[in-house]
Amino acid sequence: MPFLYTPDGTGKNVDIKKSKIPRAGKGLYAKKDFVKGDFICWYMGFLIEEDMVDNGYYDSDYLLKLNGKNMYICAEDKKSCYGRFINDGLSKYKSNCVFETYNNTNSSGIIAKRKIKKGDELYINYGPEYWSDNRYTKLNQEDKEFIDNMNI
């Protein structure tokens, strides 16, 4: 599957730079103001059948379940999309974006959940499945304590 950077192929909506979250690596930042419901960027990659993931044959930190489909998007490849750089803000209050599934194209987009100002880091709730025991046990003690006390 070819990777797609459109309609944000020029980087007009987002920028990738160091996240404000300690030890998170890179983050996704708004290059312009957004209002609730605005499309920000794509979350695209390879399509993986649900059975492959559910039966443990495929695992990645970049899997997103497509609503209403028996498929996942895997955006692990660094060239897959800008959306792969969005972090979980580890708080329902920091989350300023949501995923939206487009079933006709088997893709997903990142949508503004509320007003976002130019320069703000974009955050999304990965969901409780992401913070499963497998990922949780790989964290250092400080991060485990943070997640244990977060308000999601």
Q: What is the pLDDT of residues 108-121, one digit of tens each?
A: 999 999 999 999 99
Kind plus residue range of the DSSP H or E element containing 109: strand 107-112
- What's the mean pLDDT in 52-77? 89
Report the Cα 85 to chain-centroid distance in Å: 7
Q: Name which residue leads in pLDDT, 55 or 139.
A: 55
What band does 93 get if pLDDT is binned at 50, 70 and 90? confident
Q: How many CB atoms lie within 10 A of CB 38?
A: 17
Overall pTM surpassing 0.75 (yes/no): yes
In one-letter notation, the amino acid at residue 4 is L
Please check whether residue 122 is in contact with residue 88, taking contact to mean a CB–CB distance below 8 angstroms.
Answer: no
Angle, vertex CA 99, rays to CA 97 and CA 104, nearest 5: 145
